[in-house]
Amino acid sequence: MKPSSVILWVVIVGAMTSGLFQLKYAVQSSEDELARLNRELIATEEAVQVLHAEWSYLNRPDRIAVLAARYLDLEPMTPRQIGSLDMMALPVIQESQP
Amino acid sequence: MTGNAQSSILFDGAISRALKVGRHRLVITGAIFLFSLLVVSVRLIDLTVIGDGFEPRFAAVADPTRNARLGRHDIVDRNGLLLATNLPTASVYADPKRMLNVDEAVAQLTAVLPGVGRAELAAKLKSKRRFVWIKRNLTPRQQAAVNRLGLPGVAFQSEARRVYPQGRLFSHVIGSVDIDSRGIAGVEQAFDESLRVGRDQPGETLRLSLDTRFQYVLRQELALGMARFKAAGAAGVILDANNGEVLAMVSLPDFDPNDPRDRTGIQQFNQVTLGAYEMGSTFKIFTAAMALDSGVVTLGGGYDASSPIPMGRFLIRDYKPKNRFLTVPEIFVYSSNIGAAKMALDVGADRQRAYLERFGLMRPSDIELPEVARPLTPDRWGELTTMTVGYGHGIAVSLMQVASATAAVVNSGVFYAPTLLSRDGLGGAIGRRVISARTSEQMRLMMRLNVADGTGRKAEVQGYRIGGKTGSADKPGKGGYQRRALLSSFAGAFPMDGPRYVVAVMFDEPQGIKETFNYATAGWNAAPTTGRIIARIGPMAGIIAVDDAGQEARGLLVKIADHAAGNGKEPGVAF
């Protein structure tokens, strides 16, 4: 074997080894990242769950009724207040004579 | 190694053979290594270049762990509002063997954890077990307090706790779970299997047919009525008349599902589905429907109700006797027991039973709840039974059954099994015809007449065409019926020109008050309560009020007369 080819092989092996190490560490840090994200995901999901429950709790009809009575100038609808479009008297548009 | 070199060195005998063996071994070893390397590189290429989507699988692991952790699916109402959910909490447990000073630990723990008994905890911690619960589902504040004690041998386990954000509003329907998240009542028990989260089952929320707004109105009005009429209990249900969906179901008194201690027998009892009651005159809806449908009498026909019917030691009499011949609509509107009894007798025991069977009144309701009453039906179905069943005595059914049978009577005659599941996207409901569309139309006219000008007058809401029937039954007690203990009910539907909702309301032992002139009958309590409920849910459902200034009431009589003369309009176009 010629010395040049030996050097070539040594360089190739060295490059591959360091490349492999780089890859291994990259994968390891990616895995750590994944685990961290998963933990974050779980924590966020738990938070979302709690917020959903709180939203439903705050939307209790009896609470809304009290708040509406206190802050809004609205009253419960009566049957009379519901209608359809064709019950409305529409303005008559007169066609102008040429 | 060239041929030249080979020929220049010649060995003989043993040495040559040894070399040959060595060379063979080298070749074999080399081949094995080469093969192994080949396998490794093929696998490497497979993993890196070709790939088969392993990576996303790792990411997806997050979801099942979440489900396994939280343990139970959510329950939402038809509009997606959360009714039951699991929240993560911490529970504190101890390993007594690792504890240093049990007495001191007991003193410290009971100081920060209210509701933990001193003696009880000491007994637990002095036991030989390696794992004892100290308290489940701590609040974050309690967890911090226990953590601050820094006791060895005490640790936390993260658990999920079932929470019902709407509190008492849905007590009986939703039910509750025990400390280990197993359903023990209501929907939680009925759908326990599908609510429980399997290891590899994807999460699915249970969507019910209930509407929180309707439920709120129903509960509020029932509570109001119960307080006003000093009733022992109240119950109500709102059904979609055209597919059997239960929109609201309330039984009072109720309990707080978030507080496992807040439960006594009567509070846990779901009067809508688990209570079987003799409904009284409300049953005349079904008697009239079966009489008209089987053709034994027409709307123009009638019966002599001038004197009570003696039957053995009983006397079938009217609450407010008219003492004359009554037409079928009159029997219905005046709620004549004599007329209904004679009508039932004309239908006959066998046919009566067959119709009741079809209306779903002879077997437990199909509602998806574990608390379902088996109706109490007479063993022997003689003449007397036929007559008493005709006006709702001698047979006990649940309010749920009455509501779904009423829905079948008014919705043009199709029975739908009541359901708590949202029917959206399930391809609609499948019903079975129980009476003809024409009979249904005639029943709607009579029920409307009863509210426009009959015993149900107090249920009238200006603008809404409500129809229904009252019923006041004496509650059975020791040795016969009690005169003073009533069970008043109202089964109604609206709007009667195309029923969309059925509302059934019941009061247990309402009292007469000054405003009702001391009457405790259904016309004075169950009927007005139903009217108030409908006045509030109608606008929510976007039902348009009809303003005809009394025209309609007069028209009713004309239409009934039309039907009586046998030339009523085509079915399905009533009103």
End-to-end CA separation in angstroms for chain A: 108
The residue-averaged pLDDT of B376-397 equals 89
Q: What whole-number distance in Å separates Cα of residue B322 and Cα of residue B299?
A: 19
Pairwise CB contact (< 8 Å): B85 & A45: no
Q: What whole-number distance in Å separates Cα of residue B409 and Cα of residue B285?
A: 8
Pairwise CB contact (< 8 Å): B535 & A78: yes
B480 strand-pairing partners: B477
> For residue B96, how many other CB atoms are within 10 A of its CB?
17
Q: What whole-number distance in Å separates Cα of residue B176 and Cα of residue A12?
A: 68
Closest partner residue to A52 (CB to CB) among B85, B542, B545 is B85
Plot region of B260 (φ>0 → left; ψ -120 to 50 → alpha; else → beta): alpha
pLDDT band at B3 (very low <50, low <70, confident <90, very high): very low
Catalytic one of B176, B281, B335, B336: B281
Closest partner residue to B543 (CB to CB) among A55, A59, A82 is A82
Predicted confidence (pLDDT) at residue B208 exceeds the cutoff of 80: yes
**Which residue in A has a C-alpha nearest to residue B534's C-alpha?**
A79
A55 touches chain B (CB under 8 A): yes
From chain B, which residues contact A within 8 Å (Cβ)? Answer: 58-59, 61-62, 65-66, 69-70, 74, 81-83, 85-88, 163, 165-167, 169, 212-213, 216, 220, 461-464, 535-536, 538-540, 542-545, 547
Q: Which residue has the higher pLDDT, A17 or B197?
A: A17
Q: What angle do CA B514, B520, B523 make, to 5 degrees?
A: 105
SS3 B252: strand
Q: What whole-number distance in Å separates Cα of residue B281 and Cα of residue B304?
A: 18
B232 strand-pairing partners: none
SS3 B248: strand
Taking contacts as CB-CB distances below 8 angstroms, the residues of chain A near B545 are 79-80, 82
Cα of B546 to nearest chain A Cα, Å: 8
A50 touches chain B (CB under 8 A): yes
- CATH level 3 topology of B72-207: Penicillin-binding protein 2a (Domain 2) (3.90.1310)
Where are the domains positioned within chain B?
Answer: 72-207, 215-564
Which of B301, B300, B328, B306 lies closest to B318 in space, CA to CA?
B306
B181 tagged catalytic: no
Dihedral (CA of B179, B142, B174, B473) sign: positive
A59 touches chain B (CB under 8 A): yes
Domain B215-564 sits in which CATH superfamily? DD-peptidase/beta-lactamase superfamily (3.40.710.10)
Which helix (H) or strand (E) is B238 found in, with range?
strand B233-240
Q: What angle do CA A78, A83, A88 make, to 5 degrees?
A: 130
Taking contacts as CB-CB distances below 8 angstroms, the residues of chain B near A76 are 536, 539
ipTM field: 0.73
Taking contacts as CB-CB distances below 8 angstroms, the residues of chain A near B547 are 80
Q: What whole-number distance in Å separates Cα of residue B271 and Cα of residue B226?
A: 14
Percent of chain B with pLDDT over 70: 88
Where are the domains positioned within chain A?
Answer: 3-76
> For residue B310, how many other CB atoms are within 10 A of its CB?
10
Which helix (H) or strand (E) is B182 found in, with range?
none
SS3 B461: strand
Q: Are B277 and B504 in contact (CB under 8 A)?
A: no
* Structural tokens at position B324: 């004359």
* Structural tokens at position B145: 């307090």
Question: What digits encode the pLDDT tens for the residues B119-169?
Answer: 888 888 888 888 888 888 787 788 888 888 888 888 888 778 888 999 889
Q: Are B329 and B446 in contact (CB under 8 A)?
A: yes
Contacts 24+ apart (CB under 8 A), B547-556: B547/A80, B547/B463, B552/B452, B552/B465, B553/B449, B553/B452, B553/B453, B556/B445, B556/B448, B556/B449, B556/B452
Residue with the two structure tokens 């709690």? A50
Question: What digits encode the pLDDT tens for the residues B513-555?
Answer: 887 777 888 888 899 999 999 999 988 888 888 776 566 766 7
Instruction: Please give the single-letter amino acid code of residue B386.
Output: T
Question: What digits encode the pLDDT tens for the residues B408-467?
Answer: 999 989 999 999 988 765 556 688 899 999 999 999 999 998 988 888 888 888 888 899
